Structures are given as structure tokens and as C-alpha cells.
Amino acid sequence: MLGAPGAGKGTQADILAGEMSLPHIASGNLLREAVEKKTELGLLAQSYMERGELVPDELIIKMILQRIALPDCASGGVLDGFPRTLAQAEALDKGLGDKGKSIDKAVYLKLSRKELLKRLSGRWLCRNCQTPYHLITAPPRVAGKCDKCGGELYQREDDKEETIKERLKIFFAQTVPIIDYYRRQDKLIEVNGNQGIAEVARELMTSLRGKAK
């Protein structure tokens, strides 16, 4: 699942993973968990995340390859937030190729910059299960509480205005090239992300089914 910060990758990856009964693997969630638990990876990653910068490729590649080697990924998975650089995309192809597997499809959720800024500024996350909410477009049923698990909702440190600008800049410089990488492999599906959650999910499923091999 490719897209700028605030594009709705987490929400759509969650829906897609549910529809396909596959695990949802979100690099940002795995990193935030590591930071919270103060693991070695968490301590190394924290300062990059706070500045809105990308965590070094070698750390994130190792983390994801270890995660997708777990038994729940035997039939596949929905990757969200990874890969974000060409080096990561190539390392993922190599890691999967070594196991006789490959990426089936890359979904790009495309949104205008204006819409991205609007979404990021109202975003809240569950501290427990990481489900995303939005104050205006997707509020929880009970203010401050997660609909799924009752966990406490919080705003991410890196959703502050200055950090958001840095994250968007990095997306356009470093992640946009991998959209072309998947386009050249004829694996890219572009979805108009400037719509409501249900409309995006419908467009995504229709495109995936239409292009399923």
C-alpha cells in the first residue's frame, strides 16, 4: 500500500487485509511498538521518527523481512508503509524471491496535497491497536475511545505541522520513484484517495479483482 502520509494507507490496508483474511503489516506501527517497548530497534529508530525522517534502510528492511518470515504470512500479507525507498523495494523483491515469492500488486492511494494536510491535522490513533480515526471524517463512537478495543486515542508526535511538511517532502522525493518501479513491472494499481473510506475501499477492491491474475 503506497501513498503519502495521511493518504489512508492504514485504514485501507486494514479493510483489504480483513477482506482477504491476510495479516496487515504496517512498518510505522511496528516501529512505534518498538519505540514504546524501548527495544534496541526502537531506541535506534526514535530520533528519525520524531524528526519525520525515514529510518535507515538496513534497519527497516531487516525488521520487515523478519516479520514476513513468521508463519501468519505463509499465504501472503498486506504491506503498509513499506517499501518507501527504491533500496527497500529491491531488498523486498530479493527477500521474497529467495523464498520463491513475489509482490502481486502495489496499490497507490493518490491524493491532493490540500487533502493530505487536512487529514493529517485531524488524525487520532488507538494507543492499543493503532486503529486510525479522524475528528471530522471518521470520528470514534465515544470521544477519545477506540471503537474496536476501547483503547485510549492519541495524536502522533510526528503529526505536528512542521514534521508533517518534512514527511510530505520525503514522500515526494524518496517514495514517488517506487511508484514508477511498480508501474514498470505492470503491478501498479492507482486509486483516487480523495474520496470517503467506503468509496476508496470499493474502488480498490474492484481494481484488484479486475487485475487479479
Quote the DSSP letter at residue 185. Answer: T
Q: Are 175 and 156 in contact (CB under 8 A)?
A: no
Task: Establish if 3 lies at the interface with ligand AMP (CB under 6 A).
Answer: no
Q: Is 51 a catalytic residue?
A: no
Longest dimension (CA), the chain: 47
Q: Return the residues of window 119-138 that contact ligand AMP according to CB under 6 A.
A: none
b/e map of 169-187 (b: 16 or more CB within 10 Å)?
ebbeeebeebbebbeeeee
Among 41, 68, 82, 111, binds ligand AMP (CB under 6 A): 82
Residue/partner pairs of 126-131 with CB below 8 Å, 24 or more apart: 126/151, 126/152, 126/153, 127/151, 127/152, 127/153, 127/154, 128/152, 130/10, 130/26, 130/29, 130/32, 131/14
Task: Establish if 46 lies at the interface with ligand AMP (CB under 6 A).
Answer: no
Q: Return the residues of window 52-71 that contact ligand AMP according to CB under 6 A.
A: 52-55, 60
Q: Which of 54/153 has CB closer to ligand AMP?
A: 54
- What is the enclosing helix (H) or strand (E) of 205? helix 197-211
Task: Establish if 48 lies at the interface with ligand AMP (CB under 6 A).
Answer: yes
| Nearest residue to ligand AMP, scored by beta-carbon proximity | 28
Q: Is 67 a catalytic residue?
A: no
Task: Establish if 84 lies at the interface with ligand AMP (CB under 6 A).
Answer: yes
Task: Establish if 107 lies at the interface with ligand AMP (CB under 6 A).
Answer: no
**Catalytic residue selected from 156, 160, 183, 202:** 156
Task: Establish if 16 lies at the interface with ligand AMP (CB under 6 A).
Answer: no
Three-state DSSP class for 12? helix
Taking the C-alpha atoms of residue 151 and residue 111, their distance in angstroms, rounded to an integer, is: 29
Q: Which of 65/202 has CB closer to ligand AMP?
A: 65
Task: Establish if 193 lies at the interface with ligand AMP (CB under 6 A).
Answer: no
Task: Give the interface with ligand AMP as residue ranges (CB under 6 A).
Answer: 5, 27-28, 31, 48-49, 52-55, 60, 81-84, 88, 158, 167
